[in-house]
Amino acid sequence: MNNNMKSTIAAIAITLALVGSAFAGEKYPLTMTAIYTKGHNRPYEQQEKHDYTSGDYECTKGDEHNAPDCRTSVEWAELERIGGTPDMVLFTMADGVQIGVQSVSVNKVYEITCSPGVSIIFCDVYYKLMEMTQANFLKTDKYGQTVGPETAMAEQDALTKKRFGNGDTMKVTIPYKLKGKPDKNGFQRIEVEGVDKGITHILNPLGDGYYVKK
C-alpha cells in the first residue's frame, strides 16, 4: 500500500446521495464502502520545462535529437496528471470482496482503469464520487455573472477540506442490491440506484458486478 493509501481517512464518513426514496433501505438492503484517494501530479522536478510560448501553445526548445514539444496549458496539465499518482477508489462489498479502480495513469495500482466509455459499474460510481470532490466553477452570482477565479478556488479549497479533511482520502457508504445469484463462474450482478440502469450490462455483460469469494 502506497503512502496515499495510508493517509488519514476523513473522520466523517459521507453517504453518497444516490437514494431518493424513503424505502431505499428496503430496495437496496446492502452497503458497500468506498475509500476514495485523490491523486497527485508528478513531482515538479520531473515535469517538462517550457522554454517559450507560441500562440496558445507552451513549448520545450528541443535538442539535436528531439523536436520542440508544443501543447496547450490544458494538455500539459493532463500530461502531468497522467504522469503522477492516480485517483483511486477501493470498494469493499458487503461480503468482504474488494474491487479497486483508478484514473488513467502511467502508474498502475489497480487492474481496472476508468476512462470515458468504459462500461463498468464501479467506474460509474467512481465518477459520481469524483463529482462530489469538485466545486461548480460555472456557478453564477446573484447578478448572473460567473464567479471569479479567486472565489472558485476558495470554494474548491473549502470543498476539498470538507471531503478529505487534512488527508488524501474520504470514506463513503453506498447502498446497493444483488441481481439474482452468482453464475457458474461466481460472477454476481449488482444494482446501485442512480448509477446504472441496465445499460452497462448491455454494453459489457461483465461490467455490472464482481466475482464473489469461492
Looking at residue 101, its pLDDT comes to 96
DSSP secondary structure letters along 54-103: ETTEEE----SSS---EE-HHHHHHHHHHTSBPPEEEEE-TTS-EEEEE-
What is the residue extent of each domain of the chain?
Answer: 3-40+85-211, 42-84
| pLDDT tens-place string over residues 157-214 | 787 787 888 888 899 999 999 999 999 999 999 999 878 667 788 889 999 999 998 6
pLDDT (0 to 100) of residue 163:
83
Could you report the per-residue pLDDT of 8-24, keeping only the tens digit for each?
A: 444 344 555 444 444 55
First to last CA, the chain: 25
Average model confidence (pLDDT) for the chain?
Answer: 79
Report the C-alpha gap between 14 and 31 in whole angstroms. Answer: 13
Q: Read off φ and ψ for residue 57, nearest 5 degrees.
A: -110, 145
Is residue 115 pLDDT above 50, yes or no? yes
d(C-alpha 32, C-alpha 174), whole Å: 5
pTM over 0.85: no
Q: Which residue has the higher pLDDT, 82 or 32?
A: 32
Regarding beta strands 209-211 and 187-191, do their DSSP bridges make them parallel or antiparallel, or are they unpaired? antiparallel
